[in-house]
């Protein structure tokens, strides 16, 4: 019987069936197709290139930035009876020569390479000597400056694509890439026509709740007392000082809480981390410095006392809860002050204007998630392109629909402002048109003071308008074009709202409402 993906899965890995989209990805790659694979950590991305490496003639090249993990991966493959090796800076010259020799003799199914070696004359000559079955780029988001972990070495991959024969399939694999980062991966790696596979982002055991509180600490305390009086969890804060203050405060209230941030000594950090992993019921109060590589299955809650900087960050940080599959909470409290603080960080940073624009956009989308009246899970998963039902029944908005007001009319005005100005402008300018801001000279210059929507929106203040635009964005009625100065344009989803067939409801509690509006429930 000839080998199939399933027989090889059983033979080498001892598993009986494929997970999620593994089978579809394998079929696509084995047939020679390029693929972009977006699946969360731990969901089984490696098999998507390891099995095609066995099924296709030639040796597979795997590019991975995690030198420390290459040895483990290769050891595991060898134990499974697969011929694998790696080349990176940890090898002695003799060891490296032995690997190269095996490669040239076509004795390897997979060769793992560190990205910094790719474009050396030596490596390129080597790669041309042997037929290749595929090229897999692990942690592919590292190629994008828009992603969260850019690595300059990865830019070399742009050229590798054109230096290798075209018929070799390429796979880009990552656990975190929003639409923008995916676009960048496509462009940089020459994967314009690659099929996109997205799946498995849902964490059904996590209960999401997001609130705007004036006294976040006492709300946190109430939440902990009610649901997690002796559970382990993580509390994220923006500043180092705040992590220490909150840890002290929790300790004074009888919980065992330890701070964790990059300003603590290495010894103290590893002590706190070890206690969190080994003892029961410890709370770590941390900045984002905490979390990478922490694998504690029974983290029962992740609480945010400050906003994360993007939906990706929120998903990653909350994803540390409930790895054991048991119920866990993701609890977030935010304030308008917190929002302005994050905005200030972006403006004060040394990033260039394009980067700042992207960061502003990501922050706005996160705020959109906070202000949403509809299912949190649906918004979260849609952001990654994962298809889900519109309601989950297991988030705060599904379980306790918030008080809302009917913002359909201003939403229509906003949408028509986008359309009438030619889909060329960003939120700020559109609000200036709606509110007839006479300090914006471009309005008259472009003749936009003659539009019907000009000044129609003076009933609301710019803050409320921003909130409306954010909802139009998170709900997909308008799209932001970051390559065109964050200009907005309408999507198909805008039609029913424009035609009055669908209402747009906004939270009562997200922003103070100036005019008297009737509360209603969704
Ligand atoms: P990722 O690269 O997405 O983080 P891995 O490829 O390391 O995840 O896989 C995570 C774990 O899941 C590994 O232990 C792997 O052997 C296991 N796994 C992968 N596919 C399957 C499957 N079809 N059935 C059972 N276990 C699987
Ligand atoms: Zn829900």
Tell me the pLDDT of the chain averaged across its residues: 91
Task: Produce one character per residue of 276-305: b if its CB has 16 or more CB atoms within 10 Å, e if not.
Answer: beeeeebbbbbbbebbeebebeebbbbbbb
**Pocket mutation for ligand 1, best pick of 12, 44, 50 (most atoms within 8 Å of C-beta):** 44
Q: Whose alpha carbon is nearest atom 24 of ligand 1?
A: 15
Tell which atom from ligand 1 comes closest to the C-alpha of 46.
Answer: 6
For residue 511, the model assigns a pLDDT of 53
Place of tokens 């202000």: 371
Nearest ligand, CA of residue 174?
A: 1
Question: How far, in Å, from the CA of 204 to the mean position of ligand 2?
Answer: 10
CB of 6 shorter than 6 A to ligand 1: no
For residue 117, the model assigns a pLDDT of 83
Whether 81 and 163 have beta carbons less than 8 Å apart is answered as no
- Can you tell me the distance from the alpha carbon of 345 to that of 292, in angstroms, rounded to the nearest whole number? 23
pLDDT band at 510 (very low <50, low <70, confident <90, very high): low
Q: Torsions phi, psi of 426, nearest 5?
A: -90, 180
Residue 471: closest CA among 369, 400, 341, 378: 369
> So what's the ipTM on this one?
0.98
pTM over 0.90: no
CA dihedral 367, 371, 372, 378 (to 10 degrees): 40
- Return the structure tokens found at 41: 């950590």
Tell which atom from ligand 1 comes closest to the C-alpha of 18.
Answer: 23
The residue count for the chain: 522
Nearest ligand, CA of residue 398?
A: 2
- Can you tell me the distance from the alpha carbon of 472 to that of 511, in angstroms, rounded to the nearest whole number? 16
Please write the tens of the pLDDT for every residue from 386-403. 888 999 999 999 999 999
For residue 158, the model assigns a pLDDT of 86
Q: Whose alpha carbon is nearest atom 15 of ligand 1?
A: 44
- What percent of the chain is predicted at pLDDT more than 90? 71
Q: Which residue has the higher pLDDT, 464 or 60?
A: 60
Residue 269, SS3 per DSSP: helix
Tell which atom from ligand 1 comes closest to the C-alpha of 19.
Answer: 23
Please write the tens of the pLDDT for every residue from 16-42. 999 989 999 999 999 999 999 999 888
Helix (H), strand (E) at residue 267: helix 266-278
HSE of 414 in the Cβ direction (CA atoms, 13 Å)? Answer: 29
Q: Whose alpha carbon is nearest atom 17 of ligand 1?
A: 44
For residue 514, the model assigns a pLDDT of 47
Beta strands across the sheet bearing 505-507: 505-507, 403-406, 520-521
Angle between helices 376-383 and 311-318 (to 10 degrees): 110
- Return the structure tokens found at 61: 């090249």
Please write the tens of the pLDDT for every residue from 421-480. 999 999 999 999 999 999 999 999 999 999 999 999 999 999 889 989 988 988 889 988
- Can you tell me the distance from the alpha carbon of 91 to that of 249, in angstroms, rounded to the nearest whole number? 49
CB of 374 shorter than 6 A to ligand 1: no
CB of 10 shorter than 6 A to ligand 1: no
For residue 228, the model assigns a pLDDT of 97
CB of 44 shorter than 6 A to ligand 1: yes
């Amino acid at each position: 019987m000839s080998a199939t993906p399933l027989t090889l899965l059983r033979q080498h890995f001892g598993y009986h069936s494929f997970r999620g989209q593994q089978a579809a990805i394998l079929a696509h790659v084995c047939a020679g197709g390029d693929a972009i694979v977006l699946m969360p950590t731990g969901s089984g991305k490696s098999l998507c290139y390891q099995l095609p490496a066995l099924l296709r003639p030639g040796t597979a090249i795997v590019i991975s930035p995690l030198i420390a993990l290459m040895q483990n991966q290769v050891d595991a493959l060898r134990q499974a009876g697969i011929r694998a090796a790696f080349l990176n800076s940890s090898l002695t010259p003799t060891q490296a020569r032995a690997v190269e020799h095996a490669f040239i003799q076509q004795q390897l199914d997979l060769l793992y390479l560190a990205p910094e070696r790719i474009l050396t004359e030596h490596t390129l000559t080597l790669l041309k000597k042997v037929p290749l079955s595929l090229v897999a780029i692990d942690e592919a988001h590292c190629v994008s400056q828009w992603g969260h972990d850019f690595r300059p070495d990865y830019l070399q991959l742009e050229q590798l694509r054109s230096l290798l024969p075209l018929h070799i399939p390429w796979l880009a694999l990552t656990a975190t890439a929003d639409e923008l980062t995916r676009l960048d991966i496509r462009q940089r790696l020459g994967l314009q026509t690659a099929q996109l596979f997205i799946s498995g982002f849902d964490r059904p055991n996590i209960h999401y709740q997001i609130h705007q509180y004036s006294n976040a600490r006492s709300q946190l305390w109430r939440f902990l007392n009610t649901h997690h009086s002796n559970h382990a969890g993580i509390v994220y804060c923006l500043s180092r000082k705040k992590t220490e203050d909150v840890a002290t405060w929790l300790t004074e209230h009888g919980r065992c809480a330890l701070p964790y941030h990059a300003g603590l000594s290495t010894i103290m950090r590893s002590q706190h981390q070890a206690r969190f992993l080994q003892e029961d019921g410890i709370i770590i109060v941390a900045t984002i410095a905490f979390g990478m590589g922490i694998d504690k299955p029974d983290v029962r809650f992740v609480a945010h006392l400050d906003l994360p900087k993007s939906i990706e960050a929120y998903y990653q940080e909350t994803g540390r809860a409930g790895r054991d599959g048991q119920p866990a909470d993701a609890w977030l409290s935010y304030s308008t002050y917190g929002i302005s603080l994050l905005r200030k960080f972006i403006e004060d940073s040394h990033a260039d204007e394009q980067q700042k624009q992207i960061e502003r956009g990501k922050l706005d989308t996160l705020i959109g998630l906070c202000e949403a009246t509809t299912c949190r899970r649906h918004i979260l998963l849609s952001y990654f392109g994962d298809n889900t039902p519109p309601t989950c029944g297991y988030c705060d908005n599904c379980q306790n629909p918030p008080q809302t007001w009917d913002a359909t009319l201003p939403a229509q005005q906003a949408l028509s402002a986008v359309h009438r100005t030619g889909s060329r402008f960003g939120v700020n300018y559109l609000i200036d048109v709606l509110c007839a801001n006479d300090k914006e000279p471009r309005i008259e210059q472009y003749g936009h003071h003659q539009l019907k929507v000009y000044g129609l929106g003076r009933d609301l203040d710019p803050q409320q308008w921003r909130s409306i635009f954010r909802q139009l964005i998170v709900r997909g009625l308008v799209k932001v074009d970051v390559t065109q100065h964050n200009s907005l344009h309408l999507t198909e989803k805008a039609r029913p709202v424009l035609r009055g067939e669908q209402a747009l409801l906004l939270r009562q509690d997200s922003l103070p409402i100036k005019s008297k509006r009737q509360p209603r429930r969704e």
